[in-house]
Structure 1
Amino acid sequence: MATFLYARVSTSEQTLGHQQTQAENAGFQFDHVVADHGVSGVSVLMKDRPEGKRLFDMLRAGDTLVVRWVDRLGRNYADVTDTIREFMRRGVVIRTVINNMTFDGSTSDAMQMAVRDAMISFMAASAQAQAEATKEAQKAGIASAKVRHDETYKGRKPSFSRASYEMVMNLLSKQTSVSEIAQVARLSRQTVYRIKENPAAAEKALVVWSL
C-alpha cells in the first residue's frame, strides 16, 4: 500500500512546491508525488492530463491519494465526481489536506454512503463554481483594463455626438448664448464651453472615438 500526493497548477507561472509543503506540514508522508504543471482543471479531464493519466495507471487497492483540496483533481463537477468514485471503486482512499476530509468506498451502510456522496458532490460543485466566478472576475478585469487603456490613449469619451457638435458650432456662429445652446442641444453648459473654447479638440475627440 502506497501514499500518493497529486498536485496541479493551471498556469506555467504558478509553482507546485507549496502544495507538497502544505501537505507535509499537515503530517502527510508520501511514497510518490505526481504533478501536472500548467494544466487546466476546467477544460482538461483528469484522465487526459499527462500525469493524471499516469496516476490512474499507478493507483492500486489499498493506496491513499492525498490532494490539497478536491479542486486539484479538477474544477469540472462531472469530472471530479467521476474521478473520486472511480478511485473509490478501486479501493483507493482519498484524503484532503484542507479540512482533513476522507473519502473511501469501504462502507456498505446506505446512510453513510449518502452522506459521503453528498459531500463529494458539494465539494465538486464548489470547485466548479469557484472556477466560474474566477473566470467572470477575470473577464470584468479585462474589460475594465480595456476601458482604462482606451481612456489613456483616446482621452475620455465625448459627452456629445457628431450631430450635437455640429448644432453647437452652427448656433455659436449665430452668436447664440451658451445657456440657450445648452438647452437646445441638451448638453451641459460646461460641454458647450469646452466646444466653444477648443472646437479642434472636440472634433479630434469625435474622430478618435469614431463618433
Structure 2
Amino acid sequence: MSQTILYARVSTTEQTLDHQITQAEAAGFRIDEVVADHGVSGVATKLSEREQGKRLHDRLRRGDTLVVRWVDRLGRDYQDVTDTIREFMRRGVVIRTVINGLTFDGAATDPMHEAVRDALIAFMAATAQAQAEATKEAQRAGIEAAKADGSKYRGKKPSYSREQLATVEAMLADGAGTTPIAKASGLSRQTVLRIKSDPASAQAALARWE
C-alpha cells in the first residue's frame, strides 16, 4: 500500500520542524509518516549521508509520494538535489512540494513533458544553492559588522531571538510570503520586512547583544 511521507530538515538546533509539518497539513496533504533530520546542513551534507536521509532512501517504495516544503529541504547543492530527485523518480516515487504545489513524476513519457519537468528540477535546484550562498554571505557580513561595531553603543535590543531570525531566513529562502513567516516565527510583519530588507544588519544587531 502506497504512503505519503513528509521529509523535513532544519539546519540549526534552534529551528523547529513544527512549521514544516503544519504547512504541509494546511496545504491539504494527508501525511502517513514524517522523516526528519535535525541540525543538518543542506549544503555540507548530502541527503544520502544524513541519518534520517538514509532511512528515507530505504523507506520509499514505488507508488509512494514524498512531500517536502521545498526542494532545498532535500539539499542546497545543485548536483545532489537533481541526482536525488531523479533517483526517486526512477524508483517510481512522486515528489511534491508544499510551496508552489509542484509535482515531479517519473511516469511522464511525452518528451516535451519530460523536458519541461527536468528543466524545472534543474532551475529549482540551482535556486536552492544560490539562496544558500546568499544567506551565508549575509550572515558573514552581519558577523563582520558586529565585530567592527563591538566597542560602540549596541543600539536597541532586537525584538527577535536567534531562533526566530533563523526561521525567518529559512522561510525567506524558501520563497514564503511575509504573513506566513510572521505567523510561523511569532514576529510582526514589520519586523519580518526589516529582516528581509537587510539581513546582514539583522544578524549584526543580534550578534551585538549576544
Q: TM-score, normalised by structure 1?
A: 0.71
Computed over aligned residues only, the root mean square deviation of the Cα atoms, in angstroms, reads 1.2
Paired with 1:31 and 1:143, the residues of 2 have a C-alpha distance of 45
- CA displacement 1:184-206 (0-9 Å, x = unmatched): xxxxxxxxxxxxxxxxxxxxxxx
Paired with 1:87 and 1:22, the residues of 2 have a C-alpha distance of 23
Paired with 1:134 and 1:18, the residues of 2 have a C-alpha distance of 20
Paired with 1:88 and 1:109, the residues of 2 have a C-alpha distance of 15
Match of 2:36 in 1: 35
1:63-142, aligned counterparts within 5 Å? 63-142=64-143
Aligned-residue offset at 1:150: 4.4
Tell me the secondary structure at the aligned position of residue 106 of structure 1.
Answer: coil
Residue type of the alignment partner of 2:130: A
Aligned-residue offset at 1:110: 1.0
- CA displacement 1:13-67 (0-9 Å, x = unmatched): 1000110001001100111100001000000000000000000000000000000
Question: Is 2:60 aligned against 1:59?
Answer: yes
Equivalent pairs counted in the alignment come to 153
Paired with 1:139 and 1:5, the residues of 2 have a C-alpha distance of 32
Higher-Rg member (1/2): 1
Residue type of the alignment partner of 1:127: A
Q: Which runs of 5+ in 1 are unaligned?
A: 153-211
Aligned-residue offset at 1:114: 0.6
Aligned-residue sequence identity (percent) comes to: 72
Residue type of the alignment partner of 2:46: L
Higher relative contact order (CA 8 A, sep 6+): 2
Match of 1:4 in 2: 5
Q: Which runs of 5+ in 2 are unaligned?
A: 154-210
Paired with 1:27 and 1:108, the residues of 2 have a C-alpha distance of 28
